[in-house]
A and B are shown apart, each in its own frame.
Chain A
Amino acid sequence: MTNVPPAPSSLTPAPPGGTAGPGRRGAGRARPPGRRRRIALPYLLLLPALLLELLVHLVPMVMGIVASFSELTQFHIRDWTGAPWAGFDNYELAVDLNRPVGEALLTSFLTTCRFTLLSVGLCWLIGTAAAVFMQEAFRGRGFLRALFLVPYALPVYAAVITWSFMFQRDNGLVNHVVHDQLGLGGADHTFWLLGDNSFWALLTVSVWKGWPFAFLIVTAALQNIPKELYEAAALDGAGTWQQIRRITLPSVGPVNQVLVLVLFLWTFNDFNTPFVLFGKSAPEAADLISIHIYQSSFVTWNFGAGSAMSVLLLLFLLLVTAGYLLVTRGRRHDDAR
């Protein structure tokens, strides 16, 4: 099926920053005659990728940082460089907890943290459990695996629109089941997309959409465990549960480090789910940071403040990622000793 031999290093995830094997062999020694061309070649191959990354990611990022120091509003869209300089005003506005903007930003940030922790935790738990339970063949496994990948494959908006239909107050499935069929929650139908409940509605959709990715990655990791380990353990009398605890779970450990980080970044930055579920302004209980910044910039047309918030968000994510990599790498180093 695949040309990939089970790599011995397959259980050690490459840290973002790629320790992707440098081509030590072949290059380096005994340079062939066409040496000049050989040196230029890799750069030529990289050029399109580099240009695009510059245009779409790096230049906008620098611009965003510059814009965060200016009073950029709708009047300066035609010539953004003409926007008056604001110094740290936008940042002060964003972090000043005594004013509505800063207070709302903090609330939104805390909501996002709570949401991300719960969503990543649940996605990881469900995905890992499903992968472990489906490691061994049983009747219907192929069908189930295909089914479980459906939420991942569905376009976000199609899936989230369906959920928003299910959460409708009067004609939704959720209230029909909770109130009409189970008789829970009193006579009045619950609002799911307004007020405090919106947090749980959002979390449900996020987990539904997100866990198959964890399932996919953990399944891939489990395929790399040599069968002999299980056979040896079975010969030694270890039961299925013991094998799971002592072989399966420890083997996916290193993969989890990358998986959790990726899930964290995706969930924290997720815009699509709340945007399709709630529209341009989410209820306060589910006001995730990306929607909040979107609203500050494109609805109230204050690009300067929006940029400052984006930069703060980026700094936070950088800090968390760096800390996370330090901790997990440090631990892996300990394991190796």
Chain B
Amino acid sequence: MPASTHPGTHPGPSSRPRRRPSPRPRSALDPPASFRVVRAVFLTLLAVFVLVPVHVMATSSLKPLKDVAGEFRWIPSGLTVRPYIDIWHTIPLADYFVNSLIVAGAATVCSVVIAVFAAYAVSRHRFRGKRLFTVTVLSTQMFPGILFLLPLFLIFVNIGNTTGIALYGSRGGLILTYLTFSLPFSIWMLIGYFDSVPRDLDEAAMVDGCGPLGALFRVVIPAAVPGIVAVAVYAFMTAWGEVLFASVMTNDATRTLAVGLQGYSTQNDVYWNQIMAASLVVSIPVVAGFLLLQKYLVAGLTAGAVK
């Protein structure tokens, strides 16, 4: 244990440490050995826990089928890139990829635009029903997805029957659904972000002749770019990873990766090497994007969620 005065009580300014403090204030910079040991052990175990599935995904994707069908091996007996070629033929992976890109991309763009407007309204304007709006939007966060699934399914089917607009089974229906999933969180986070942009700035812009929308586009949005990026990343990840609605609301032509990947199991064989290769391929865009933008996301969370 490090030199402490009275264990359990906050050392007052007058209490004298037993050991002389070093010239540099003993602080976070040189933690004691006990701390460093516990930290090293804990972080190592955690890193192993996190890495094992990543290792399995990466190595298994390079193994021949007989290797992944038999007993597990940490180190592959032989490496092959065959699975990476086969994944595109076993199932129409490219089609699923395109579907996922369209759905997640469109949902992200729409969700960000709509959230920016809504958050600007809440952050900068007073109006009746504001509190009701924020409460309603946020409380939809807690509803189980399964609660919307049945009625939304019925609504889409019925709209299709009466108007001929095919929402059920179409990408449009999925886009519509997904963009509302990320919307409440996006609005909430952006309100926090816009609040942190000094109001004097956009008021000055308005005095200089900008309208309220001009102030939004010229002042508030540029100042809140990190928050907007964070919200976009979140919306894309939500849409890219969603399984429940994708499995009910899509057909053969509009299937997304979330559902399509299950096609690698046939009656006789499960092509684990191909599944792992495909998993890796569909993960790379999101993980790379996320890691590149993680600073924005952390900053966004600091401003939004942690307020």
Contacts and interface: CB of A to CB of B under 8 A. Distances in A.
Contacts of B21: 234-235, 237
Given A41-B212, A46-B122, 10 more contacts: A1-B295, A9-B307, A18-B122, A39-B127, A41-B121, A46-B118, A149-B294, A230-B27, A235-B21, A236-B12
Interface string B247-263: 11000000001100100
Q: Which 9 A-B pairs have the closest CB atoms?
A: A239-B2, A237-B17, A60-B151, A153-B290, A45-B121, A158-B279, A63-B151, A176-B72, A42-B125
20 contacts: A5-B196, A16-B141, A41-B212, A42-B127, A45-B125, A46-B122, A52-B176, A55-B180, A63-B155, A136-B31, A156-B243, A173-B56, A220-B305, A233-B11, A234-B25, A237-B3, A239-B1, A246-B10, A269-B143, A269-B144
Interface string B263-307: 000000000100110011011001100110011011101110111
B206 to A, nearest CB: 9
A255 B117 contact: no
Interface string A281-318: 00000000110011001100001001100110110011
B283 A155 contact: yes
Nearest to B144: A269
A290 B146 contact: yes
Contact of A238 (B11, B144, B161): B11
A88 interface: no
Interface size on B, as a range, is 35 or more
B226 A2 contact: yes
Contacts of B131: 17-18
Interface in B184-234: 187-188, 191-193, 195-197, 199, 203, 212, 223-224, 226
Contact of B298 (A49, A50, A67, A220): A220
Interface in A46-62: 46, 48-50, 52-53, 55-61
Contact of A61 (B4, B15, B147): B147
A219 interface: yes
A224 B261 contact: no
B126 A165 contact: no
Contacts of A155: 237, 240-241, 257-258, 282-283, 286
A241 B291 contact: no
Given A7-B307, A147-B47, A158-B279, A52 B127 contact: no
Interface of B: 1-5, 10-13, 15-18, 21, 25-29, 31-32, 34-35, 38-39, 42-43, 46-47, 49-54, 56-57, 60, 68-72, 114-115, 117-118, 120-127, 130-131, 133-152, 154-155, 157-158, 161, 176-177, 179-180, 183, 187-188, 191-193, 195-197, 199, 203, 212, 223-224, 226, 237, 240-244, 247-248, 257-258, 261, 272, 275-276, 279-280, 282-283, 286-287, 290-291, 294-295, 297-299, 301-303, 305-307
A111 B16 CA distance: 54
B226 A3 contact: yes
Interface string A144-181: 11111111111111110111011010111101100010
B247 to A, nearest CB: 7
B299 A18 contact: no
A110 interface: no
A240 B35 contact: yes
B134 A17 contact: yes
B145 A52 contact: no
Contacts of B11: 233, 236-238
A17 B135 contact: yes
Contact of A230 (B28, B53, B161, B199): B28
A134 B180 CA distance: 35
A262 B248 CA distance: 26
A183 to B, nearest CB: 15
Nearest to A140: B43
A151 B48 CA distance: 12
Contact of B25 (A3, A7, A133, A231): A231
